[in-house]
Amino acid sequence: MTAPSIESLNPEQMRQMLLALTRDMATKDAIIQRQNHDITFKQALIDKLTHEMAVLKRLKFAAQSEGFNAEQRSLLEETIDTDLAALAQEIEALAPAKAPAQDKQTPKRQPLPDHLPRREFVHEPESTTCRCGCQLKRIGQDVAEKLDYQPGVFTVERHIRGKWVCGQCETLIQAPVAAHIIDKGLPTAGLLAQVLVAKFLDHLPLYRQEHIFERAGLAISRSTLAQWVGDCGAQLQPLVDALAAELLSHGVLHADETPVAMLKPANLRDGKTHRAYLWSYCTTRFNATQAVVFDFADSRGGQHVRSFLGLPNADDSTDTRDTKPGWQGRLVTDDFSGYKACYAMGVTEVGCMAHARRKFHELWVHHQSAIGEQALKLIGMLYDVEREVQVHSPEQRQAERQERSKPVADSLHQWLTQQRQKVPDGSATARAIDYSLNRWTALTRYIDDGELPIDNNWVENQIRPIALGRKNWLFAGSLRAGKRAAAIMSLVHSARLNGHEPYAYLKDVLERLPTLPAKRIEELLPHRWRPTGLPA
């Protein structure tokens, strides 16, 4: 049916058609306006989310710098990465569909390891008959792998020992059972290693592990777990003592300390905690032997450092005239006064350039100081050299430092001395400059010795997980508990430093320790350990 021509329409019909066209145009205008509004709104939201993402990326970069301590940085980076992923998803949902990227621009996911168990889920059509009635033929398949996780499952080892008796003389023979770290105890070395690693490396308190084990099918009381930890701590202490002795046999060590809350009997009634400290000592990154030893103490007093290093304390009542002088090496530290007495007893002070740099970094960040900016540039040149020579031998490293770092350090010292005369006493700039000038010999000692590091960051990296763990520990239950925690953490963190999987290391140690002669205990030190069956 053909539409009537306009000429054939009467005035009323033309008026109705005009009204219909007007309404249609108004409707389309409203749709277009609404679509434009939606596009404008979505673009504004995309811009807002993009800006938030940029801010988070800058904050993430700042978290990796000196603006945050190790504890804050670790927690902040985790939150930032989560937010960045969420923002990316929101922007992708708002943005218009784009053409698929070229294969060469799309990063390919690494295949999942072959050793992981696999469960197959087969997805096939309900019917393999085509709509035309023909039978479909299979020509291939697509495979997509996803990573799954299931909570741990308990198993039971049944050790069956046959009893053999002589019918004539009635002699009874039975194979001996292998010794265990907890004699006649319930747990295997593997279960004990799991409890220790979860508590002292993954920072899971025992009450959380109790709930985890309950979900796995067997409730183990917190008191039982605590007993296991105490037993293992006592059994492992000789190995920790051997690790500390090995550490003190090296001539260059890092030292640092971090506070940890501790309960004291006098404070139990009011619920207050005492400020204790976890001291950290480790070899340098240049040393072939990688080891870290933690020492828990109830204060920040320098006597704890001297005691660990075997140096005499002022309150020692024993006669030290015939004793060894204690450790006499080079100690890399910050400027904490607790270390000062060691330097009067033969220990050589090595300063931390990173601490000096932080003073100027604060000037630049907070005040846009030109002095701070210039100091950062000069110190940055020193670190540029270190990045290049860290893989060299000590002799090559020293030669490079003498040739390249010494002129920069001399220029920095001369420039700081000149700038100090221009700034008033007591100002932030004066304090930053004085920090470096007053410690200049210790700060630049590394230039003359290829075995020394430029800063104390290496030990700060080792103590960072401890600072993170404080959030989960809440407090140490006692001085003894703190020392036990420090001992076990020394082993698992030293194992990690040497590239070992901490659980595998500790499980093997707990299996071998009960039958290993005391004179061979050094075989189980993390830097000498080899899994059972491999040559030492």
Q: Tell me: the pLDDT tens digits for 185-229? A: 788 888 889 999 988 888 888 888 888 888 887 888 877 888 788
Is 106 a residue whose pLDDT tops 70?
A: no
Q: Which residue in 510, 519, 473, 474 sits closest to 492, CA to CA?
A: 510
Is 61 a residue whose pLDDT tops 80?
A: no
Q: Tell me: the pLDDT tens digits for 255-269? A: 998 888 776 655 544
Q: Which residue in 192, 241, 226, 176 sits closest to 515, CA to CA?
A: 176
What's the length of the chain? 536
Please report whether residue 394 resides in a domain: yes
Predicted pLDDT of residue 151:
55
Is 171 a residue whose pLDDT tops 50?
A: yes
- The tokens describing 9, both together, are 């329409």
Mean pLDDT, residues 408-430 taken together: 92
Predicted pLDDT of residue 92:
66
- Least confident span in 2-16, 191-205, 399-413, 491-505: 2-16
Q: Tell me: the pLDDT tens digits for 33-42? A: 888 887 887 7
Please report whether residue 256 resides in a domain: no
Instruction: Supply the DSSP symbol for 456.
Output: S
Q: How far is CA 148 from CA 15, 117, 151, 153, 459, in A?
A: 69, 10, 10, 15, 36
3-state secondary structure labels for all residues of 324-387: CCCCCCEEECCCCHHHHHHHCCCCEEECCHHHHHHHHHHHHHHHCCHHHHHHHHHHHHHHHHHH
Is 111 a residue whose pLDDT tops 70?
A: yes
**Rounded to whole angstroms, how far apart are CA atoms 116 and 147?**
9
Task: Identify the domain containing residue 409 by its residue range.
Answer: 353-454
**Rounded to whole angstroms, how far apart are CA atoms 400 and 143?**
54
Q: Where are the alpha helices (DSSP H) in 248-339?
A: 302-308
Please report whether residue 398 resides in a domain: yes
Predicted pLDDT of residue 214:
86
Query: Average pLDDT, whole number, for the chain?
Result: 80
- Reported as a pLDDT band with limits 50, 70 and 90, residue 3 is low
Predicted pLDDT of residue 97:
59
Please report whether residue 402 resides in a domain: yes
Please report whether residue 363 resides in a domain: yes
Q: Tell me: the pLDDT tens digits for 6-34? A: 666 677 777 787 888 888 888 888 888 88
Predicted pLDDT of residue 510:
94
Bigger pLDDT: 164 vs 347: 347
Please report whether residue 260 resides in a domain: no
Please report whether residue 371 resides in a domain: yes
Predicted pLDDT of residue 305:
94
Q: Which residue in 299, 294, 279, 273 sits closest to 474, CA to CA?
A: 273
Q: Tell me: the pLDDT tens digits for 113-153? A: 777 678 777 777 777 777 777 776 676 777 767 656 455 77
Mean pLDDT, residues 145-168 taken together: 71
Please report whether residue 401 resides in a domain: yes
Mean pLDDT, residues 487-495 taken together: 93
- Least confident span in 178-182, 190-194, 382-386: 178-182
Q: How big, in percent rounded to 5, are the helix, strand and coil portions of the chain? A: 55, 10, 40
Tell the burial category of 347 from Cβ atoms under 10 Å away from its Cβ (0-12, 13-18, 19+): buried
Q: Where are the alpha helices (DSSP H) in 368-478?
A: 370-389, 394-400, 406-420, 428-437, 440-443, 457-473
Cα-trace Rg, the chain? 34
CA within 13 Å, CB half, 356: 30
Cβ count near 25 (within 10 Å):
10
Predicted pLDDT of residue 274:
77
Predicted pLDDT of residue 224:
80
Domain count, the chain: 1
- The tokens describing 341, both together, are 């007495």
Predicted pLDDT of residue 67:
46
- The tokens describing 374, both together, are 């210039």
- Reported as a pLDDT band with limits 50, 70 and 90, residue 68 is very low
**Residue 394 near residue 450 (C-beta atoms within 8 A):** yes
Is 108 a residue whose pLDDT tops 70?
A: no
Q: In what order do the strands lie in the sheet with 274-282?
A: 292-297, 274-282, 252-262, 330-332, 348-350
**Rounded to whole angstroms, how far apart are CA atoms 357 and 336?**
16
Q: How far is CA 324 from CA 251, 315, 319, 529, in A?
A: 16, 17, 11, 30
- Least confident span in 304-308, 399-403, 477-481: 477-481
Q: Which residues contact 262 (CB under 8 A, 6 or more apart)?
A: 273, 274, 275, 276, 298, 475, 476, 477, 478, 479, 482
* 172 bridge partner residues: 165
- The tokens describing 111, both together, are 């295949």
